[in-house]
Amino acid sequence: MMMWERTTEGKGAASMALRHAVLAALLVGDGSGGDGGYSGYQLAKAFDIGVANFWHALPQQLYAELTKLEKEGLVAGRQVVQETRPNKRLFRVTEAGLAELAAFTAAPSKPSFIRDDLMVKVQAADSVDTGPLIEQLEERASVAEAKIELFGKLLRKMRGELDEEEFLRRGDRIGPYLTCLRGLALERENREWGLRVAAVLRARGPVRAER
């Protein structure tokens, strides 16, 4: 039997993946945000930095998910009337939401999944023109560089005046710090790999008579 025939085995596990990412992200805004909660809009921004390290979603999806979560009582929203800006709804995680997150955390994780156009292109590098590929690899390396700096700043900000060891021992809210560390490591690898592959392909020159 091969791997895709896991019939009748992971039965009641209920995927609905985005929701847990939303709940986890919302926890951060809850309290530190000052006014207790994130709006959909703010959540979208929080996703862009930080959460983007392990989850990607467009704002439309977040709004939709927030609506569903509210209907199920996992988050509670309250209207905030603003004069200078359009009104907004601030959401915070409810007890039920926290319970849902706890259950999710206790359940087995599905293997992480990655999807990367550039890697597909590198896989085919022996059969196609490498010119544009080299450009994209170097572009990616420089994007990674920028993220590395951004994450460095974020980490410094999160740990405040404590050093890392100290913060991880005694800080509160270390979750986002730990995921950010992973993002940092990832981007470093991204940069190294991009530069290395670009160099290798450059050194080989144009692809020789294929097929």
Partner DNA sequence: CCTGATTAGTCACTTTCTTGACTATGATGA
Partner DNA sequence: TCATCATAGTCAAGAAAGTGACTAATCAGG
Within positions 189 to 208, which residues make up the interface with a copy of itself, using CB under 8 A? Answer: 189, 192-193, 196-197, 200, 203-204
95-106 and 17-32 are packed helices; what angle lies between their axes, rounded to 10 degrees?
A: 130
Q: How many residues bind a copy of itself (CB under 8 A)?
A: 76
Given a copy of itself, DNA, none, residue 82, with its beta carbon under 5 to 8 Å by kind, binds: DNA
Question: Between 20 and 147, whose beta carbon lies closer to DNA?
Answer: 20
Exposed / middle / buried, residue 19 (Cβ in 10 Å: 0-12, 13-18, 19+)? buried
CA distances from 105 to 96, 100, 118 (A): 14, 9, 32
Question: Between 57 and 89, whose beta carbon lies closer to a copy of itself?
Answer: 57
Which residues inside 95-114 make contact with a copy of itself, applying CB under 8 A? 98, 101-102, 104-106, 108-114
> Does residue 158 touch a copy of itself according to CB under 8 A?
no
> Does residue 119 touch DNA according to CB under 7 A?
no
DSSP 54-83: T----HHHHHHHHHHHHHTTSEEEEEE--S
Q: How far is the CB of 39 from a copy of itself (least distance, A)?
A: 13
Q: Which range of residues in 78-86, 156-164, 166-174, 190-198 is near DNA by CB under 7 A?
A: 78-86
CA separation for the pair 191, 166 (Å, rounded)? 29
Given DNA, a copy of itself, none, residue 42, with its beta carbon under 5 to 8 Å by kind, binds: DNA
> Does residue 7 touch a copy of itself according to CB under 8 A?
no
Which pair of tokens denotes residue 5? 């025939």
Given DNA, a copy of itself, none, residue 11, with its beta carbon under 5 to 8 Å by kind, binds: DNA
Which pair of tokens denotes residue 145? 């560089």
Closest-CA residue to 39 (of 17, 18, 70, 12): 70
Q: How far is the CB of 89 from a copy of itself (least distance, A)?
A: 18
> Does residue 13 touch a copy of itself according to CB under 8 A?
no
> Does residue 123 touch DNA according to CB under 7 A?
no
Residues forming the site for DNA (CB under 7 A): 1-2, 4-11, 14-18, 39-42, 45, 56-61, 63, 67, 82-89, 113
